[in-house]
Amino acid sequence: MKEIYCDESRQDLFFNKNSITDENRYIFIGGIMIDNKNRDAIKRQINELKEKYNLNKKAELKWNRVTSKYLDLYKEIIDVYINNNISFRTISIDSKRLDLKKYHNDSGELGFYKFYYQLLNHWLDDNNKFIIYTDVKTYSDPNVLNDLKRCLNNREHPSSVERIYAIESHESVFLQLEDILMGATAYKENYGYNGKSHAKVEMVKYLEEKLGHRLLPTNRNASKYNWFEILI
């Protein structure tokens, strides 16, 4: 059994075109995948780091909270990702080219979950069972997660999605880890190395150093760090 923890960045750009700028342009939807037999060990490592830096275990780690004060903590969180069997995958969407009316019945929510499907469809590629966790959202359609599960299980593929849960990010260190990885990716795409936060730029460079390559779209078969750029 494998577990996937999913979240998104700048999803408001699906609904609010007025907020699009050159530095607030790319929407990201991403996730991390772990084997559930490793979950307790990884969770323990992250909680031990919180304790090391005098944070409560319930304290939420987030990309938006990366500062110079806690830079060493967040670098060690990156090390947890690098040193464990954790896969990260994300897709990016250029909101300036997003045409909801033409492709998604003029619905930001429909477009959002079509892209969620694209994230997962090409990731569930082995003969395994999956449990998927997403961050809690407010949906106009209460069946949207069940519909996503049904669509994924209707693929002609031996993998199966057992359940999809919506959970609060502060309850899951795995959603928090995903937020940091996707936050670094989105920051690099939107700002390059010219972001105003020195700590966040340092985090981008640290992740690149540990991966051994720049944060750029990868080929389809990349497993540790996979970034697929959707060209609409």
Q: How many CB atoms lie within 10 A of CB 155?
A: 14
DSSP assignment of 89-100 equals: EEEEEEGGG--H
Q: What is the predicted pLDDT for the residue at 95?
A: 78
Spatial separation of the C-alpha atoms in residues 91 and 45, rounded to whole Å: 27
Arithmetic mean of pLDDT over the chain:
87
Greatest Cα pair distance, the chain, in angstroms, is 51
Banded pLDDT at 16 (limits 50, 70, 90) = low
- Domain range for 148: 2-230
Q: What is the predicted pLDDT for the residue at 106?
A: 44
Number of domains making up the chain: 1
CB 47 within 8 A of CB 76: no
Q: 203 versus 140: which is more confidently predicted? A: 203
Q: What is the predicted pLDDT for the residue at 232?
A: 66
Whichever domain contains 80, its CATH number is 3.30.420.10
Question: Kind of pairing, strands 26-35 and 225-230?
Answer: unpaired
Question: Region 200-219: what's the mean pLDDT?
Answer: 97
In 3-state terms, the chain is what percent helix, strand and coil (to 5)? 45, 20, 30
Tell me the pLDDT tens digit for each residue of 50-71: 999 999 999 999 999 999 999 9
Residue count (the chain): 232
> Residue 33: pLDDT above 50?
yes
Tell me the pLDDT tens digit for each residue of 101-145: 444 444 446 667 778 888 998 898 778 899 999 988 655 566 778
